[in-house]
Structures are given as C-alpha cells and as structure tokens.
Amino acid sequence: MKQIGKHSWLVLVVLCLVGVISGCYKEKETEVSRPLATPSANNKNSEEGNKKLKIGFSMDTLKEDRWLRDRELFREAVEELGAEVEIYAANGDDALQILQAETLISKGVDLLVVVPHNAEAMATIVKKAHSSGIKVLSYDRLIKNADVDLYISFDNEMVGVLQAEAITKIVPKGKYVYIGGADTDNNAHLIKKGVFHVLQPYIDKGNITVVYDQWSKNWDPEYAYSNMEAALKANNKDIDAVIAANDATAGSAIKALEKYDLAGKIPVAGQDGDLPAAQRIIQGTQTMTVYKPIKALAEEVAQIAVQMANGKTISVENKVNNGKVEVPTILLSPIAVTKENMDATIIKDDFHSKEEVYKK
C-alpha cells in the first residue's frame, strides 16, 4: 500500500506539472495569436501619418474691411489644401494676442501664422512656438527681434513710394501733412520710409515742407482725425496735400477736411483699396489708394504654410533684417489706383464690384 501510495503521489505531481505547462502554453499561444489592429485604408485621418494638418492664425484685428477679407480668403485657401485653420483676433490688444497665440500653441497646431499688432511684443510667441516645435510665419507684418521662419508681405516701402509719387505729380510744391499708422507696426515705418524717400529731394530743394507728421496710435481713425484737425489749426487751414498711412486714416483725415469745407480740394493718398476709399476716389474726395491683391497674399501664405507644416523647406532669395536675424522673405507687388484705373484693377479683380464702388 505504501509503495502504491508513493507511485500515486508521483503520478499526481507529474499530471499537475503537465497541466501547468499545458496551461502556460495555451495562454502564451492565445496572446501570440491575438489579431493585431491594422489601419483601415479608408480611415486615413485616424493615423498620425495621415492626420489633418491644423494651421493657427493669430490676427491683430478684424475692425477693418481689409482684415475681414484676409481672414476669409486665408481660411478658404487653407481648407482647399485639405488642412484646417483656427483663427483668433485680438483687436489691437497685445496681451490678448499673446494669450490667443499661446492657446493655439497649446492646442498643438502644426504651424503658426501671425499678423502682429506689436512687432516687438510678439517675439515672445516665436520663442514659445519654437520650444514646442512649431514654426512661425509672419503674415503681412514683420515680427521684430525674433527667429521668424518666414515673412510674406507686400513691398510696403513701395506702397509709400507709390503714394508720394502720385501726390507729388499733383502738388510738386507746397505744405504736406503726413498721417502715419501705428508706430508699433513695422509696416507703418516701411510705408513712411517709402513716402519720405520720394519727398526728400523736394524737401531739400525747398519745394515741399512737411508741416505736420504724426503717428496714429493702433491705426485708430480717431487719432488720425485728431491729427488732421491739429494740422489744420496749426497751419491756419493752409495745407496743400495729405498722405495717410492707410485708407482708414485717410478717411478720417477727409472727415476733418470736410469740417472746413476742404474735402476734394486737397489731394489725399491712402492705401489698402478699402471699399469706402474706392468710393471716395470716384466721388473725388480721395486722390488715390494703393491696392494690394490680398487674395494673392492669402493664397501664397496658405500654400507655403501647409508645405512648411508638412516639413518642407522653403527656399527664397530675399531676406529682411528684423533686428535679430535675416528673415527669409517673399514680397508681392502693390498697385497704385486712381479714378482712371479703378475699373482695370480693383473692379477687374472683383476685389469690389462696380456697383459697390460706383454706388449704382
């Protein structure tokens, strides 16, 4: 009995070991043979390599007609390229624009496009974006003192040149008023540089005297109106020409001129090709505007933004120094518009309709 008991115990142990080994083998076999998840060919956006790109667009303002157009044109262009765009506008509030840009960065956008209100203040956003592996494209206005990856705009110095050339043809001698834009905007400085590049030879000869020269804080038309009134009072209404940094400031200058029954009697230059400016040109109270085909700008930026977000290197010939680095730059050409070529430019491009411009 004892011998049989030993054998029985041994058999029992062997059977248990076999069961354990068999169980382990079955568990392992089940794990190995479990079907692996495979990506569906029809679910491209589910995988990281095929996810939809998202472009962040941080804008200074939407208070002007021009920027409303930029927003919609840029959105359409990005979406046509198969990417998404998230847009914020700060309406001239530096702190808010920084916060909005930080929000876009935290959301993990693939590239950040910025229209800076304050060229200096937005430098901090470039640094934060880069620390998150996000490249920054400066749209229309250059961000100063930062490692901006690319800058795309119009030739803003040429904008000023076109303004001054148009007015000096009409008024080669006389007293000029210059109503600038925001001194925090690099474009405002470039436009002024172009204006005075043309005016300086006339000034040196004593033919032109700039009797008033002031910035308009935040591009605010109210400051432009106050500036124009101050210029008229300081010179006893003896003014021969006005060059304003954009159409909104030009419009306010014209309102001040109207107060003294001088609208249409004194040539006024603006820029942006805004609808009210185009209407004033036809009516005769504004002399000219500088039209910047923003559809071309928005489409160019959208195409390059998507390429950069996909990791493509963009090669450009031009560079602009922003106080820290030589920023790769693409500049588009602006167009001077008067009553004579309104139909062939702004209306032909369907920037504004003929009915709108002529109020028919």
Q: What is the pLDDT of residue 53?
A: 96
Question: What pLDDT is stored for residue 50 in this prediction?
Answer: 60
Q: What is the pTM of this model?
A: 0.79
Give phi and psi for 250, each to the nearest 5.
-65, -40
* Predicted local distance difference test score (pLDDT) of residue 319: 96
The string of pLDDT tens digits covering residues 200-242 is 999 999 999 999 999 999 999 999 999 999 999 999 999 999 9
Write down the pLDDT at residue 30.
24
Placement of tokens 């210059």 in the chain: 178
pLDDT of residue 248: 96
Report residues of the chain scoring pLDDT below 70: 1-50, 360
pLDDT at 65: 84
**3-class SS of residue 169:** helix
pLDDT at 49: 52
Q: Which pLDDT belongs to residue 360?
A: 61
- List, in sequence order, the alpha helices (H) in the chain: 2-32, 65-80, 94-106, 123-131, 156-170, 186-205, 221-234, 247-259, 275-283, 294-309, 354-358
pLDDT of residue 35: 28
- What is the structure's pLDDT at 16? 42
